[in-house]
Amino acid sequence: MKNYEIILISIALAMDAFSVSICKGLTMKHKFRRNSLIIALSFSLFQMLMPLIGYFLGSKLSGILITFNHIIAFILLVVIGFNMLHDAYHDEDLKEGLSISELIFLSFATSIDAMAVGITFSFFEVNLKFAILAIGIVAFLFSLIGVNLGKLIGNKFEKKAQIIGGIVLIIIGFKILLEHFFN
């Protein structure tokens, strides 16, 4: 696999993390720089770890993992999306905190397809170090940009932005699930 193909794969894998980063940035008011770096690092680390896991699992469990990865991502994203909607309608102040469990769930959910890519890496001649590094750097940059974009939007639209963010997460969850059934 050529390096430019790995870069394109890295960009494709970063799209979900980018979208979710926008949603997280929507509610950030305090400790923005610190939290945006934590989010970008978390998404990046999971995007790097999951292809490694997939690569080493290779063909042994590929059928099982590919069968259920979409369902797991769907459930996690929809639950978090509905939680954002609930918070927007029931909290007087938007929930801004950076929950470790939510961050791990989001990082995991947005990187499951990276594990499937790692499985495919095991079938091809791939410079694994370059691939993992490229995936991590692209995910970090896209996530950081996404959080900043979300903050910009969130400052202007407050609770409406959180509602939109929740809806976007739910849509991404359904998109992942539907892609599984129609591809």
Residue 99's φ and ψ, nearest 5 degrees, are -70, 130
pTM as predicted: 0.73
Q: pLDDT, tens digit, for every residue of 55-98?
A: 888 756 656 656 676 776 677 677 767 776 776 676 544 445 56
31 and 125 Cβ atoms separated by less than 8 Å: no
H or E, element range at 120: helix 112-121
Q: pLDDT, tens digit, for every residue of 10-52?
A: 998 888 889 888 888 877 777 788 889 999 999 999 999 999 9
DSSP code string of 99-135: -HHHHHHHHHHTTHHHHHHHHHHTTS---HHHHHHHH
Q: pLDDT, tens digit, for every residue of 116-155?
A: 788 778 777 889 999 999 999 999 999 999 999 988 887 6
30 and 151 Cβ atoms separated by less than 8 Å: no
Q: What is the pLDDT of residue 65?
A: 57
